[in-house]
Amino acid sequence: MNSDAPGAIDLQAYLNRLIDQRAELAEKRDNLESKATAILMVAQDTHGDTLSAEEDAEVRKHVESMRTLGTDIETLDARIKDTGEEVRRTGQIQANLAQVRNTQKAIVSVRESNVYTAENKHQRSYVRDLIRYTTNQDHDGESRRRLFDHAQDVATAPEYQEWRDISRVDGSGGYAVPPAWLMDQYVTYARPGRAFANVCQRQQLPGGTDSINVPKMLTGTSVAIQATDNSTVSETNLTDTFINAPVRTISGQQGLAIQLIDQSPIAFDDVVFRDLVAAHAAVLDGQVIGGSGSSGQVLGVNNTPGITSIAAAGVTLTQVYSAIANAIQTVHTTRFLPPEVVVMHPRRWGWLLAQVDTQNRPVVLPEANNPMNAVGILEAVDSQQIVGRLQGLPIVTDPNIATNSGAGTEDIVYVMRASDLILWESGIRARVLPETRAANLTVLLQVYSYLAFTAARYPASVVEITGLTAPTF
């Protein structure tokens, strides 16, 4: 913009102030949205879709503040648009004025022809003038004058301009094409969820304890036919025991330079907390499946005494299908109630989807196709949730199931009555500790929670199908 225009600089400065003010409001609103989203994520991981009264109030407070800031931003947008239009109009007027003045100069001025041209090369020679001038033979000064005029032509005349090709290579023009950093599309680390844990019966962890004891009847009473009237009635004293589920801790932390938090254009602390929560879910799920019961771990399904294990006769469709049927009847005949779900690794479900009959027709078909004599039903192409049905039971896939069991390449399929497995959880707690490493200007971000788990109430509720080596496709 031409600084000669009265008020032009002030108008531009006013526009810049409006834009800066809008950026500040937008950043505040983004931070509020990140806080509200974090509360919802933690609440969902802790107790599903239901918010506590405190969480709901906190979310509503953030949303109300976002609404106020959004109204202010929309007002600023209108002012910025109007002011920007006037700045543009002022700049266009000044540009048009400059063009008019250049046109005026072109009309009144007459440019002399170049000193050395192809037409006058016999009368004027650049080399001859240069020799005369450098050997002190230019007694009348004409050679010197022509050389000086030619230098002016080279500096200003368009026909003498030199052009060179440049590219986007750094150092050859490339620095003028900077990379575009799409910070709002920051790619987070991919982590598995907690599909196995989510199908278990989930309860709130009781407070004020480090161990949960659940009483259990060990042997029951007896009932028999009375041989004759007034004869002895069957009587057997029941015995009981208890199940112990120690309370364990899952935790994680990340130290951040305070400069990263202050100077990053995105809420990097929110990025870290999201990853910590995701890592927490994967570890909890792994504990429910395979916790050792020692070194601070819960006792997971794999290591619970009394869990039934069935080895598949082989890894053909018929053999796997038969093993699942065997596992289902085993739960029926030992727990005396039906199983509720089949949980398997995604690669095993993918292998089932790849199976075909003798006519090369898939045996697991979409439900919409109304299949006949299908081995299974494909309900959805999803991950870590219900993906289909097999022998009347829903199929849940979980990538946290180990693929190096047994001979080193096996993945276990679980047929179970999941409501008999209990997972007690506290809410995930987050902490920000600026004092711990204050000497280094480091802020410590932490998440942790408490849990207890047992599959020992009714071990017969779970049947593991083993012997399933790595499939081929």
Alpha-helical segments (H) within 120-170: 126-134, 142-156
CA–CA distances in Å: residue 235 to residues 216, 217, 224, 225, 340: 20, 16, 9, 11, 35
Structure tokens at 13: 């400065």
| Among candidate residues 144, 145, 150, 151, the one with its CA nearest the CA of residue 115 | 150
How much is the pLDDT for 467?
A: 95
d(CA 423, CA 200) in angstroms, rounded, equals 7
Sequence-distant (≥ 6) Cβ neighbours of residue 361 within 8 angstroms? none
Contact yes or no for 258/223 (Cβ under 8 A): no
Diameter of the chain measured on Cα atoms: 156
How much is the pLDDT for 153?
A: 76
How much is the pLDDT for 1?
A: 44
Beta-carbon neighbour count of residue 418 at 10 Å? 19
d(CA 158, CA 295) in angstroms, rounded, equals 82
d(CA 413, CA 395) in angstroms, rounded, equals 10
d(CA 429, CA 277) in angstroms, rounded, equals 10
How much is the pLDDT for 124?
A: 73
Chain centre to alpha carbon of residue 366: 29
Kindly report the pTM of this predicted structure.
Answer: 0.64
d(CA 208, CA 103) in angstroms, rounded, equals 89
CA–CA distances in Å: residue 62 to residues 16, 258, 279, 428: 28, 24, 26, 20
State whether residue 443 is helix, strand or coil. Answer: strand
- Domain 195-212+248-466: CATH superfamily is hypothetical protein PF0899 domain (3.30.2320.10)
Contact yes or no for 405/411 (Cβ under 8 A): yes
Q: DSSP strand E in 100-238: where?
A: 201-204, 211-219
Structure tokens at 215: 């009483």
d(CA 391, CA 325) in angstroms, rounded, equals 7
CA–CA distances in Å: residue 36 to residues 58, 59, 229, 266, 403: 8, 5, 73, 16, 38
Beta-carbon neighbour count of residue 345 at 10 Å? 21
DSSP 427: P
How much is the pLDDT for 138?
A: 80
Half-sphere exposure of 223 (CA within 13 A, CB side): 0
| Among candidate residues 361, 291, 351, 289, the one with its CA nearest the CA of residue 321 | 351
Half-sphere exposure of 275 (CA within 13 A, CB side): 12
Structure tokens at 51: 């918010």
CA–CA distances in Å: residue 262 to residues 256, 257, 333: 11, 9, 62
| Full pLDDT tens readout for the chain, 473 residues | 444 444 445 788 888 888 988 899 888 888 888 888 887 887 777 776 677 778 788 888 888 988 999 899 999 899 888 888 888 888 888 888 877 777 665 554 445 567 777 666 667 787 788 877 788 888 788 888 888 888 877 777 766 666 667 778 888 778 888 888 888 888 889 999 999 999 999 999 999 999 999 999 999 999 999 999 999 999 999 999 999 999 999 999 999 999 999 999 988 999 999 999 999 999 999 999 999 999 999 999 999 999 999 999 999 999 999 999 999 999 999 999 999 999 999 999 999 999 998 888 888 887 656 666 677 776 666 667 889 999 999 999 999 999 999 889 999 999 999 999 999 999 999 999 999 898 999 999 999 999 999 999 999 999 999 999 999 88
d(CA 388, CA 457) in angstroms, rounded, equals 28
d(CA 468, CA 470) in angstroms, rounded, equals 7
